[in-house]
Structure 1
Amino acid sequence: MDNQDFTATILVDQSPQEAFKAITNLRAWWSASIEGATNELNAEFIYHYQDVHYCKMKLIELIPDQKVVWEVMDNYFKFTTDKNEWIGSKPTFTVSKKGNQTEITFVHESLVPHDECFEICKEAWTNYITNSLYNLITTGKGQPNVKEEDSFNAKLVEKWKLG
């Protein structure tokens, strides 16, 4: 059976080092509201968007200029019935030279078409990778979610029964 994990690939003229630096700078391309270290092995960080999405990730593999792997430790989507979607999945970036360019491949392992969130998540990841991350690498400016005025608060975690 073919691998159906969500995948997005971009090619840039910048070096693998520049691409890797951008990938690990999540606040510059994904969300300015991310809390925690995003460039240290075994570090945990939290992404949230209003009361719609919360996830806690752990950086489980970090090979400078080549690979970044996160594991989703906890997750909540307001819009899904299955509150465990994404938990245990592994968003992964691989960086490699392709001719005189750098190829960045993003695979969200276990994010597959039968998942309830697949279409929404596919659209979001496609935008973040092929637009925001691409622009951060090529122009120095991504388009992350702006920092929310009401920063993440423990009451939401308690409300969602997350930890």
Structure 2
Amino acid sequence: MEKNDFNCSIAVNISANEAIKKISNIPGWWGITFSGNSEKQGDQFIVNMGGESFFNFTVSELIPGKRVVWLVDDCNMPWYTDKKEWANTKLIFDLTEHNGVTDVTFTHEGLTPNVECYNDCEPGWTHWIKTSLFSYFATGEGVFRPATK
């Protein structure tokens, strides 16, 4: 069965190790309230989108220069019927470096077109990866915007 997990890619003119360092500085590109640590495997952090919403993450995998995986341990998305829809999903950043350019492929494993939040999360992730993270890589500044919901 084919998986339809959300994914998108960008190519940036920095090393894969520098890209991972910048991905791990979540407030620099995601524009959210952040607490905890996100720099090494086993680190835990919390993202708050305002109000009662929260997402608890664990850095479940970190391969320097290659891959970062964040597991959603718990969440509360009060604007959806299934407030825990992201729980046990994974945010995956796969990196490949060649000739000074790093390709970053982002996959939200478990975010598929059949889940309630997909219509909001698909444009949201597209913005945060293709616009804000790309800008943060290139200029050191993310491009923040209000949350979709």
Are the equivalent residues in 1 in contact too, given 2:43–2:59 (CA < 8 A)?
A: yes
Q: Deviations over 1:103-133 (max 9, x none)?
A: 0000010110010001111111111111111
Q: TM-score, normalised by structure 1?
A: 0.83
- Distance apart, 1:135 and its partner CA: 0.6
2:38 corresponds in structure 1 to 38
Q: Using the alignment, how far apart are the partners of 2:127 and 2:144 within structure 1? A: 10
Q: TM-score, normalised by structure 2?
A: 0.90
CA-based RMSD of the aligned residues comes to 1.7
Are the equivalent residues in 1 in contact too, given 2:32–2:48 (CA < 8 A)?
A: no
Question: Bigger radius of gyration, 1 or 2?
Answer: 1
For 1:109-148, list aligned pairs within 5 A: 109-144=109-144
Q: Using the alignment, how far apart are the partners of 1:87 and 1:115 within structure 2? A: 12
Are the equivalent residues in 2 in contact too, given 1:70–1:90 (CA < 8 A)?
A: yes
User: When you count strand as a share of all residues, which structure comes out higher?
Assistant: 2
Q: Using the alignment, how far apart are the partners of 1:144 and 1:27 within structure 2? A: 10
Q: Which moved more, 1:47-56 or 1:137-146?
A: 137-146
Query: 5+ residue gaps in structure 2?
Result: none
Partner of 1:35, secondary structure, is: strand
Query: Residue 7 of structure 1 aligns to which amino acid in structure 2?
Result: N
- Distance apart, 1:99 and its partner CA: 5.3
- Distance apart, 1:143 and its partner CA: 2.6
For 1:94-109, list aligned pairs within 5 A: 94-98=94-98, 100-109=100-109
